[in-house]
Each structure stands twice: as structure tokens, then as C-alpha cells.
């Protein structure tokens, strides 16, 4: 393997590592991949002594800058996550209530408001010829927003009730699926938030995701 091929392989490994960190921050995996990060760091430091051409040095510096930028971001997010875990229970409860209030008023075109959702529940099943019904919820990609996830899940189940769909996942299974979609999308598109839209048409319920920068 040439030096250039080795650098490009490390670049691919950095992208894979980013996806693993994304999965951790949205709560899909229990532990951060710090061991893999440290191993890549050592590999990069060792590789710098094998650079012989200006092309190799340019490519190496580009990949190194990418790794350092991600590492700095991951460290900040780990500190935020750790500080949040050590909040006093009263502070956590207050933060949760604040997030719940924000989540209740979220969504596009005002569809996230409590009144709008209550009205949607009262509409009953969708009739033939009606326009597709949809609700939108925004989920951050760098952390697990429990309040927003629960609101999205509740509205997803409510949409299934409206169309008479009895196949309903548990909240944990639903959250894991959203986490997988979030990590997959962020691995392809740099985004801080993903807009998840609940779409109902022809008595079928689906969820569509759109990255927001």
C-alpha cells in the first residue's frame, strides 16, 4: 500500500468514526468510540514520518486538519453531555420541561402547536380525496432530544390511529430507528438538525427526513 492509499484509507476511517460518534450522541450506542479515535490519532502521528512527496504532504495535512476539527467538536460535545449528566435533578427537570414546551411549539407552519395537534386528533381517519396530512418535527443530530423524540413518536402513533393502522412500534424501537436515520443522513450531509415529517396518505403513515443546515 502506498502512502497516498494509506492516507485515503484513514480519511475513510475518519468518516466512519464520525458516524459512530453521531450514533453515540443521539443515544443509539452506549459508549463513545474514543478507543478508535485514539488509534487513528496514533496512526496519523506515525504516518507523518513516511511523507516523501509534496503531494503526500498536502493530502496528509488536509486529512489531519479534518481529523483535528472533528476531534475538537467531539471533545466539546462529550463535555456538554457529561455536564448534562451531572446536573442536579431539579435542574434536569426544569430543562426537560423547557425542552417539552419548545418541542410542543415546534414544527413547520405552526403544525407543532398543541392546539393544532389536538385538532388533528379530533379529525379522525383520513377520507378518500382528502389532501395528505403531515406534521413536522426537528431533531438535533448532535444529541438525543428526549422531549422532541417523544413528541414525534406520539404524533406518529396518533397518525396511525387516525388511519386504523394497528402496527405500532415501541418508543425504544422507534427512537433507535430515528437514531439510525439521523446518523446515516449526517454521514452524508453536514447538518445540525433533521426535519422529520409524518406523512399520511391513502391510509398509510410514513416518515420523511430532510437535513437542515
Is the pLDDT at 44 greater than 80, yes or no? Answer: yes
Provide the CA 188 distance to its chain's centre, in angstroms: 12
110 and 195 in a single domain? The answer is yes
CA dihedral 162, 173, 135, 132 (to 10 degrees): -50
204 and 131 in a single domain? The answer is yes
111 and 66 in a single domain? The answer is no
Of 32-46, 86-100, 136-150, where does mean pLDDT reach its minimum? 86-100
Tell me, yes or no, whether 98 lies in a domain: no
Whole-number percent of the chain with pLDDT over 70: 75
| pLDDT value at residue 14 | 92
Whole-number percent of the chain with pLDDT over 90: 12
Using CA atoms, how far residue 157 sits from 85, 192, 200, 207, in Å, is: 29, 26, 12, 12
Burial 68-77 (b: 16+ CB within 10 A, else e): eebbeebeeb
d(CA 88, CA 91): 5
69 and 145 in a single domain? The answer is no
Is the pLDDT at 114 greater than 50, yes or no? Answer: no
- Domain hosting residue 35, numbered range: 3-85
Instruction: Give the global pTM.
Output: 0.45
Last residue of some domain: 85, 120, 135?
A: 85
Of 73-87, 90-104, 114-128, 160-174, where does mean pLDDT reach its minimum? 114-128
d(CA 103, CA 114): 10
66 and 146 in a single domain? The answer is no
Coil, strand or helix: which one is 45?
helix
Helix axes 3-25, 54-85, angle to 10 degrees: 10
Tell me, yes or no, whether 197 lies in a domain: yes
Which phi and psi (to 5°) does residue 194 adopt?
-125, 130
Last residue of some domain: 41, 57, 85?
A: 85
Tell me, yes or no, whether 97 lies in a domain: no
176 neighbors 23 (Cβ within 8 angstroms):
no
| pLDDT value at residue 111 | 40
Quick one: average pLDDT of 70-88? 75
Tell me, yes or no, whether 177 lies in a domain: yes
* Number of domains present in the structure of the chain: 2
193 and 115 in a single domain? The answer is yes
189 and 116 in a single domain? The answer is yes
59 and 111 in a single domain? The answer is no
Which sign, positive or negative, has the C-alpha torsion 140, 177, 170, 26? negative
114 and 194 in a single domain? The answer is yes
115 and 191 in a single domain? The answer is yes
Q: How confident is the model at residue 119 (pLDDT cuts 50, 70, 90)?
A: very low
Quick one: average pLDDT of 49-70? 88
Last residue of some domain: 35, 50, 85?
A: 85
Is the pLDDT at 208 greater than 60, yes or no? Answer: yes
Tell me, yes or no, whether 92 lies in a domain: no
78 and 112 in a single domain? The answer is no
d(CA 154, CA 175): 12
Tell me, yes or no, whether 95 lies in a domain: no
22 and 118 in a single domain? The answer is no
For residue 157, the domain's CATH number is 3.30.470
Output the CA angle 141-144-145, nearest 5 degrees: 100
Long-range pairs for 35-41: beta carbons < 8 A, 24 or more residues apart: 37/71, 37/74, 40/10, 40/13, 40/14, 40/67, 41/67, 41/71
Is the pLDDT at 130 greater than 50, yes or no? Answer: no
Amino acid at each position: 500500500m502506498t502512502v497516498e492509499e494509506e492516507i485515503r484509507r484513514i480519511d475513510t476511517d475518519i468518516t466512519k468514526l464520525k458516524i459512530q460518534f453521531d450514533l453515540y450522541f443521539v443515544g443509539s450506542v452506549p459508549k463513545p468510540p474514543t478507543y478508535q479515535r485514539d488509534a487513528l490519532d496514533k496512526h496519523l502521528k506515525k504516518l507523518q514520518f513516511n511523507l516523501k512527496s509534496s503531494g503526500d504532504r498536502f493530502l496528509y495535512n488536509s486529512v489531519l486538519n479534518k481529523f483535528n476539527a472533528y476531534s475538537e467538536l467531539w471533545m466539546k460535545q462529550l463535555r456538554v453531555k457529561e455536564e448534562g449528566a451531572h446536573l442536579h435533578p431539579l435542574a434536569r427537570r426544569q430543562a426537560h420541561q423547557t425542552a417539552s414546551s419548545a418541542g410542543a411549539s415546534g414544527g413547520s407552519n405552526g403544525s407543532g402547536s398543541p392546539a393544532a395537534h389536538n385538532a388533528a386528533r379530533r379529525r379522525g381517519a383520513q377520507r378518500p380525496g382528502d389532501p395528505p396530512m403531515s406534521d413536522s418535527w426537528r431533531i438535533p443530530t448532535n444529541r438525543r432530544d428526549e422531549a422532541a423524540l417523544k413528541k414525534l413518536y406520539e404524533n406518529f402513533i396518533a397518525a396511525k390511529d387516525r388511519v386504523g393502522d394497528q402496527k405500532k412500534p415501541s418508543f425504544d424501537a422507534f427512537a433507535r430507528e430515528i437514531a439510525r436515520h439521523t446518523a446515516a443522513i449526517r454521514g452524508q450531509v453536514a447538518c445540525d438538525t433533521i426535519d422529520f415529517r409524518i406523512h399520511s396518505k391513502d391510509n398509510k403513515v410514513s416518515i420523511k427526513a430532510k437535513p437542515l443546515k
